[in-house]
Amino acid sequence: MIKNYDVVIIGAGGAGLRAAVEIPKEYTCAVISKVFPPRSHTGTAQGGVCAALGNMEEDSWENHVFDTVKGSDYLGDQDAIEVMCQDAIRAIIELEHMGLPFNRNAEGKIAQRRFGGHTKPVDPSDPYGKRVPVMRACYSADRTGHVMLQTLFENCIKNNVTFYSEYFVTDLIVENGICKGVTAFDISTGEVIVFRTKAVMLATGGYGRVFRITSNAHVGTGDGTALTYKAGIPLEDMEFFQFHPTGLWRLGILVSEAARGEGGILKNKDGERFMARYAPSVMDLAPRDMISRAIITEIREGRGILGSDGTYYVHLDVSHLGKKVIDEKLPEITGFARTYLGVEPIKEPIPIQPTAHYAMGGIPTNVDAEVLLNENGDIVKGLYAAGECACVSVHGANRLGTNSLLDIVVFGRRGGKKMAEFIKTADYSDISPSVAEKTKETINRIINSNGTEKVFSIRTRLQEIMMDKCGIFRNENDLKNLLAEIKELKERYKNISIQDKGTVFNTELMEAIELENLIINAEVTAYSALNRTESRGAHSREDFPNRDDNNWLKHTFIYENEGREPVIRYKPVTITKYQPMERKY
């Protein structure tokens, strides 16, 4: 079956929903998602969304730009960061107008709190001088992502947006640099549908599920990045994957930076506030990459706490904040500690470990969410990407907390506007009905296979080796071994079979297709990581411990060549105002 829509948006998280609101009613727009929209992973974001509203103390969007550039370890494109931080103020006001229930300050304006890496200069005329933490994160208790997702979904209902919920996209139809549509199947019936479109937006989120310990939902399998790469489009800066320092021990469930923004402290087994040694000025509010490295260093040097399963953790202590602050400001995350670890945060510290959290890299785009065909900035006509699956790049080598919720509303909207403009004059492309065959063949091959390999065992192995060899610290030897083993897993994948042979709600089939996407994401991440012989932001090479601006102040563009092997080219970083300097906090 072929369906025509002016716009198809893949993914119903914050970026996809925000884009959908922008498509005028006279055009047809469909949002396709493998889960119901309110199930999307945006809903798990907790601590806040930053904008220099200045509601609590003086602040400026330029301060926000400086912090984001520095946080990115100077790999973020400064023109794009300026767009995001300047637009942040309007974007937050707009969310309030849409109905988002923010916490408020004494005047009834949106309340703000501190967050890692967000600072302002003591002397406003000297951004390079001493800086102190600033209250910039707008929040709704520790459910900011949840209420943002709800608010955007509500506004889509108000705008009569058409949803294809529980449809799984399997193919991106790109020919001669033009995106013509996508193929998907209806999970509840197995029916394969081709969506013929003028514009497609990928808003498919991240791929944290390539790692063993992750804060990401099971759906975070990098479907959009994998589809793009398979369609011959490059991926940008895939070596930069953020580990959030405070995941719940063993489970990886996120414990928001808001816990530290409200005054929580990290402690090692001696009860020492170890961040005072690593980042004397901002301590527990240092950026995530630095704290994650500090935690692993503490554990490696024997100052971690041994858990019942033989793994190590450190403590996040919020007990001194008192019951009132904990209950009012951090109810959700302290609830997780109680439910999953049986720990009462009002009385005792929470066991935490770094958890794979966010892909800074992704599908390369310009500031209007148009997907780049190459490092020269040429675009793929009719193809857009926004949110975690995209790389604008505003996060560079390390994203600051709260900037992901900001990214999705700023660039989701810009992409939506750009698509609305594009479809006014664009035409549908011809699509041969036979494009559906590719998806049907994939489904039939997996269902009819009598192979001996299981999805679970390949995926578990992939997650283990990615965690061990491509995690917080990396080196050449590990990465080479990792790539060799990923090759083996790719071979094993060809021999997978599943037990569920049906067409109705076949989640085993979905997991098999998602595994292929995970393997692609893992391979490009490891390959890009091996290639970059320096340490910058979240990419930390033990064999190349320093940042090397002479050779590496550039974006990685990884392509698949005709022999289906990765090839790397580069794009320069855009610097407008802030020259790279040593990154100390």
Partner 1 sequence: MELKVRILRYNPEKDVKPYYQDYILPDVSPDMRILDILHEIKWKYDGTLTFRRSCAHGICGSDGMKINGKNRLACSILLKDLNFKDTITIEPLPSLPIIKDLVVDMTSFFQKYEVIKPYLITKTPPPPDSERLQSNEDAEKLFESAKCILCGCCTTSCPSTWTNENYIGPAALLKVYRFAFDTRDEGGDERLEIIDNPDGIWRCHTIFNCIETCPKEINITWHISQLKKRISIKEL
38 binds partner 1, rule: CB under 8 A: yes
Burial of 57 (0-12, 13-18, 19+ CB in 10 A): exposed
Q: Decide whether 413 or 418 has the Cβ nearer to partner 1.
A: 413
Q: What sign has the CA pseudo-torsion 141, 538, 87, 52?
A: positive
What is the identity of the amino acid at 120? K
Q: CA-CA distance, 109 to 1, in Å (whole number)?
A: 51
Q: Which of 109, 230, 438, 440 binds partner 1 (CB under 8 A)?
A: 109
* Catalytic residue IDs: 288
258 binds partner 1, rule: CB under 8 A: no
If you search the block for the tokens 């892909």, which residue do you land on? 359
Q: CA-CA distance, 370 to 360, in Å (whole number)?
A: 17
What backbone torsions phi and psi does residue 165 show, to the nearest 5 degrees?
A: -85, 145
Cβ(370)–Cβ(509) below 8 Å: no
Cβ(314)–Cβ(307) below 8 Å: no
Determine the interface stretch with partner 1 among 94-102, 369-377, 395-403, 546-554 (rule: CB under 8 A).
94-102
H/E stretch holding 505: none
C-alpha 501, offset from chain centre: 33
Site residues (CB under 8 A) for partner 1, limited to 334-373: 336, 339-340
Contacts of 369 (CB under 8 A, 6+ apart): 19, 201, 384, 385, 386, 390, 411, 412, 414, 415, 418
Q: 183 pairs with which residues across the strands?
A: 171, 194
**Mask 307-336, x = binds partner 1 (CB under 8 A)?**
---------------------x---x---x
Q: Which of 61, 66, 74, 102 binds partner 1 (CB under 8 A)?
A: 102
| Smallest distance from partner 1 to CB 101, Å | 5
| Smallest distance from partner 1 to CB 147, Å | 6
- Residue count, binding to partner 1 (CB under 8 A): 59
| Smallest distance from partner 1 to CB 34, Å | 9
253 binds partner 1, rule: CB under 8 A: yes
Q: Decide whether 148 or 423 has the Cβ nearer to partner 1.
A: 148
Site residues (CB under 8 A) for partner 1, limited to 427-486: 454-456
Q: Which of 108, 302, 310, 433 binds partner 1 (CB under 8 A)?
A: 108
**Mask 495-534, x = binds partner 1 (CB under 8 A)?**
---xxx-xxxxxxx--------------------------
276 binds partner 1, rule: CB under 8 A: no
25 binds partner 1, rule: CB under 8 A: no
H/E stretch holding 131: strand 131-133
Q: Which of 24, 104, 191, 533 binds partner 1 (CB under 8 A)?
A: 104
If you search the block for the tokens 């479907």, which residue do you land on? 223
For residue 62 the two structure tokens come to 């330029």
107 binds partner 1, rule: CB under 8 A: yes
Q: Decide whether 16 or 287 has the Cβ nearer to partner 1.
A: 16
556 binds partner 1, rule: CB under 8 A: no
**Mask 200-239, x = binds partner 1 (CB under 8 A)?**
-----------------xxx--------------------
Contacts of 560 (CB under 8 A, 6+ apart): 229, 230, 232, 566, 567
Sheet containing 112-113, strands listed edge to edge, beginning at the edge strand earlier in sequence: 49-50, 137-138, 112-113
User: Around Cβ 98, how many Cβ atoms within 10 Å?
Assistant: 16
Residues of the shown chain interacting with partner 1 in the complex, contacts defined by CB under 8 A: 35-36, 38-41, 43-44, 92-93, 96-99, 101-111, 140-141, 143, 146-147, 150, 154-155, 157-158, 188, 217-219, 251, 253, 328, 332, 336, 339-340, 454-456, 498-500, 502-508
